Structure 1
Amino acid sequence: MKIFFLDQSGKPGGAELCLIDIAKPYGDRALVGLFADGAFKELLQQNHIPVEVLATQAIQVHKEGTLVQGLKSVGQLAPLITKVIKKAREYDLIYANTQKALVVGALASFFSHRPLVYHLHDILSKEHFSQTNLRIAINLANRCASLVIANSQASKTAFIQAGGRSDIVEVVYNGFNPKIYQTDESDINQLQQKLGLQGKFVVGHFSRLAPWKGQHILIDALAKCPPEVTVMLVGDALFGEQDYVKQLHQQVADLGLENRVQFLGFRSDIPQLMAACDLVAHTSTSPEPFGRVIVEAMLCGKPIVAAKAGGVMELVEHGLNGFLVTPGEPQELAQVIITCLQETEITATIANNARTTASGRFDIATINQQIAQLLSDKF
């Protein structure tokens, strides 16, 4: 089977990292068409996945967009859609990995007479999307997609509640290669030394810097923790969220935490950075569709504290393989951090449990087999 993957982003987010894992086994039988140039293209090339940038300019469509804005965007989409239709005829299947890719892929599917798969990496709700964009996504999926792959039960439920067809949606979790998260102790020691982390209790946060990702909640919690607790923020603004980054720096300064918070920006050495942490925090204030960082922390053998909403509830069992806290509650988060600082044996047991369950449950070979079976059954 030859698959034409579509993705809107030039930057590697969670959906894009998932796409690499799915496309890789197909080799030259796949092509990833991107709507923007950037670091994601380079990552695909490093993984020997054929890739082509299809758009000459960025597509200005936003999650909170209105119908008028959406209609204006059709004109700028026309050259891209034409190119995708022509390219799609060389493949057996169009695989839309994002919402903008769904819009383009649905039209291309109709005109090229190729079936469409939509990989749903979002919780389709008013918390994340405008009513217009929700309606567009649901209608296109219902009418054009032969299969919707949801990355969690939470994503599937939200899709159906928003009006999506229950007969076309299946849940397949993100897959991971456990070997990637096996790190060398000497490398970790060098990294800790370079970052000045020796003797500290390090809480890592791995996500783009955005209000709903809740980095401000972690900073508030840090102010309630003993002085040996420090925070490492890995990630940066992706979608015009620079004002939030400025707010975070100001919050750190106002709380006098300049020596206890490090902003590391985007990094490629995530497994090593996670291994250098004592605890990984997930602090999203809105329901998370899946939560890749949670599974990554588990595979690194690190305890995870996560906001209990959305797909997170399918990954973490409180007190067994991690800790769950109420979203947006810094006091509750601070208490878990202090518990992990003080109760080292219990915390280590929980982290070991997490690594064992994650290695078996989210192994990329098993996940890819599930997707291949779904595609084989449908097409």
Structure 2
Amino acid sequence: MKPLRVLYVSPHAHLGGAERVTMDLLAQHDRSVVEPSVCFLHDGPLVAQCRDRLGLPTYTINAPPLRNVLQRRRAVRTIADLVETGEVDLVHSAMAWGHLYGGKAAREAGRPAVWFQHVGASWGSMIEAWASFVPARTIIANSEFTASGQRRVNPRRAKVEVIHPGTRIPAEPRAVRRARGREALGIASDEFAVGIAARLQRAKGQDVVIRAAASLLHARPHARLLIIGEGLFDADDSGSRLPQLAETLGVRDRVTFTGFRNDVSDCLAALDVAVHASTTPESFGLGLIEAMAAGTAVVAADGGAVREIVTPGVDGLITPPGDHEALATALLSLCDDPERRQSLAAEGAVTARERFDAVEMTLKVEELYQSLVPR
């Protein structure tokens, strides 16, 4: 039986959460089952990765603003031409922006569309609302939280199916990855390292982490904080604001801003505690499952899909969002209780392996594709 030809439509070619899921799917597909190609709506580093590293047919169009109706129609037609000339069986679009183009192109070409929705939809978002009226045979939601929002926006439209994103489960022993990560980051063997790995953006809560860590750093001289990541899409002024906050709190010399890292898995393994601190409800927590897979204890801000991932007191701790005092208390308790910290880390690794493996995510997506395309 020939493999299914699937065209992925991704709105961005810079690495964010949705793009990491897309890249994992593209890399993990069994090519005897799915033969992927990819179309980016804008240029960026992922174009070369797909073309050169993954060896995929890769296309880029400059998608116009939605208000430019004529150019938008031309862009949709361009994607529809790719579908027809490439004899594509199914179009998979990421995010609402991707589905506004990919879903319409699939309709023009007479092919089924799948929309992988990575954010909680609401009528307050014009793009999410518009996209919900573009035909899709199935909407994949990355969590029950996202699925419930999608159903509220347009309950009569396509079936919504939850497939949690996965992460690559490291094959190397944690001790090896931890040693390599600590050496790369300059963390001494006797230091207690707390960190957050996320793009620099107010909603990610790095300021909450810095305020919480300030209490920890003043109380425990062997502790230090690492802020892992960079700004994305020129989100805000966090790149300059956060170091100034650390300076104001008197801990700048013990806070490391790593910038972008290619070795995030090693960086997470190097930490003693990884923090998720989003101040608004997140549709998923990719950074959470990556830290758990790395074998590191996690503390997460409550809300959104967090409780679909973390069982409080079993494989992680949960604190109220935006509450730096509660976070400081949690960090101090884990600093002083290595046995509990190690227990949470071990259980978290089991959770990641059993429930959030990228291989299993890919298999579920492939099964969905096969159910939608007659063979």
**Residue 88 (structure 1) aligned to one of 45, 62, 83:** 83
For the structure 1 residues 183 and 98, does the alpha-carbon distance in structure 2 shift closer, same or farther, using more than 3 Å as the test? Answer: same
Measure, in 2, the Cα distance between the counterparts of 1:37 and 1:183.
Answer: 36
Deviations 1:55-104 (A, max 9, x none): 1x4x465xxxxxxxx323x3443442221010011201010012211110
Query: Residue in 2 aligned with 1:335?
Result: 329
Query: Residue in 2 aligned with 1:208?
Result: 199
Q: Secondary structure at the match of 1:332?
A: helix
What's the % identity of the aligned pairs?
26
Query: Residue in 1 aligned with 2:185?
Result: 195
Q: Secondary structure at the match of 2:353?
A: helix
Measure, in 2, the Cα distance between the counterparts of 1:86 and 1:116.
Answer: 15
Is 1:160 the equivalent of 2:151? yes
Is 1:10 the equivalent of 2:10? no
After TM superposition, where is structure 1 displaced by more than 4 Å over at least 4 residues in a row? 180-184
Query: Residue in 2 aligned with 1:243?
Result: 237
Query: Residue in 2 aligned with 1:370?
Result: 364
Query: Residue in 1 aligned with 2:41?
Result: 35
Residue 29 of structure 1 aligns with an amino acid whose one-letter code is E
Q: Secondary structure at the match of 2:237?
A: helix
Confirm or deny: 8 A CA contact 1:31 1:49 kept in the other structure.
no
Confirm or deny: 8 A CA contact 2:170 2:294 kept in the other structure.
no
Give me the TM-score of the superposition, normalised by structure 1. Answer: 0.89
Residue 104 of structure 2 aligns with an amino acid whose one-letter code is L
Is 1:303 the equivalent of 2:293? no
Measure, in 1, the Cα distance between the counterparts of 2:144 and 2:53.
Answer: 29
Confirm or deny: 8 A CA contact 2:133 2:157 kept in the other structure.
no
What's the CA shift for 1:107? Answer: 1.8
What's the CA shift for 1:178? Answer: 1.3
How many residues matched?
361
Residue 67 of structure 2 aligns with an amino acid whose one-letter code is L
For the structure 1 residues 256 and 314, does the alpha-carbon distance in structure 2 shift closer, same or farther, using more than 3 Å as the test? Answer: same
Comparing 164-173 and 260-269, the one that deviates more: 164-173
Q: Secondary structure at the match of 1:18?
A: helix
Give me the TM-score of the superposition, normalised by structure 2. Answer: 0.90
Gaps of 5+ in 2: none
Is 1:291 the equivalent of 2:290? no
For the structure 1 residues 190 and 375, does the alpha-carbon distance in structure 2 shift closer, same or farther, using more than 3 Å as the test? Answer: closer
What's the CA shift for 1:50? Answer: 0.8
RMSD: 2.0
Confirm or deny: 8 A CA contact 1:176 1:363 kept in the other structure.
yes
Confirm or deny: 8 A CA contact 1:96 1:102 kept in the other structure.
yes
Residue 54 of structure 1 aligns with an amino acid whose one-letter code is T
Residue 76 of structure 2 aligns with an amino acid whose one-letter code is I
Query: Residue in 1 aligned with 2:115?
Result: 118
What's the CA shift for 1:182? Answer: 4.4
**Residue 44 (structure 1) aligned to one of 50, 74, 78:** 50
Confirm or deny: 8 A CA contact 2:97 2:127 kept in the other structure.
no
Residue 7 of structure 1 aligns with an amino acid whose one-letter code is S
